[in-house]
Amino acid sequence: MKRVKFILPNGSLGPAVRKYLEPEYIIPQPDRTGFCGTMNGIDFYQLDRRTIPRFLKMSDFDAGLTGSDLLLESGVEGLEVICEVPFSRSSERPTRWVLAEPMRRSAPLQYGQTVQIGCELPRFGRIIMERCSHGFPFDIVTISGGEEQQVDHGLLSMVLVVTESGDSLTANGLQIIPGCEEMFISVPVIIARPDLSDKAREKLHELSATLRAGVGARSRIMVLCDLPSCVKLEELHLPSSVAPTIVKITKEWKSFVICIPLSDQGRVLVSLENAGAKGIVVQSVQGYLP
């Protein structure tokens, strides 16, 4: 059977993808041709994340992972989105595009004035600005880094930029324009040619499940303990996705296992202690799919 040719993105997203795919897919660093190696019937390559849609459309690659914003920027149509995976280079949150302006302007914008908006993805920027309802004339200026400084020195009126927290904008004297806090939510997407064989599609779904499980595990933990048999679980209001696993040990005790959000750890542990739980164990999760 012909192996699936899959493209990993270069840049800051690449290490996160590798981490979430382990240990099922241990992917080496690429050689000079971009080839990383073959794992589980998939040939992995690492190439420019911005050109992945074009590689799929015009070459013999089968699938790849890139940002949904870069897919829109490419202008390539007809590719299939296998799945979205909500994480970014530093967290499990997706990244958002925002429209920002200086906190203090040397001169106010005039009504009807064409606004110079800087964006590193010009086609994407035009599409997003045309979708919004702000109604002022604009030009998209292609920029590559230094967005905040260009606004600060008057080269641009606004910037359409990607951010996770917005801290760097504030540090450089910019503010997000009210109503423009989420001009576009960008998430990594696995995209593929539409003419894949059933076997190739099955391989991609296996890869997708592994990646999504790795991302999901980042924010989950397992809690195990012994509970008195008299404890009614519904009274504890535990945040499980499904009912906890319970096994009767003796007449007085039952074994209890639950998968919960990491953010609920403290509350759950206190609830279990107050209910008389013994031998409470907290474990990390290798993978989690809701």
Lowest mean pLDDT among 110-124, 189-203, 270-284: 110-124
Lowest mean pLDDT among 127-141, 204-218, 258-272: 127-141
Both tokens of 204, joined, read: 């991609």
Average pLDDT over residues 167-185: 85
Measured over the CA atoms of residue 28, residue 50, residue 95 and residue 12, the dihedral's sign is positive
147-175 CB burial, b ≥16 within 10 A, e <16: bbebbeeeebbbbbbbeeebeebeebebe
Is the Cβ–Cβ distance between 64 and 8 less than 8 Å?
yes
pLDDT in tens, 101-115: 887 765 556 666 788
- Domains annotated on the chain, with CATH: 4-92+187-217 (3.40.190.10), 95-185 (3.40.190.10), 220-284 (3.30.70.120)
Q: Which of 51, 42, 2, 48 is nearest to 21 (CA)?
A: 42
Residue 87: pLDDT band with limits 50, 70, 90: confident
Name the average pLDDT for the chain: 89
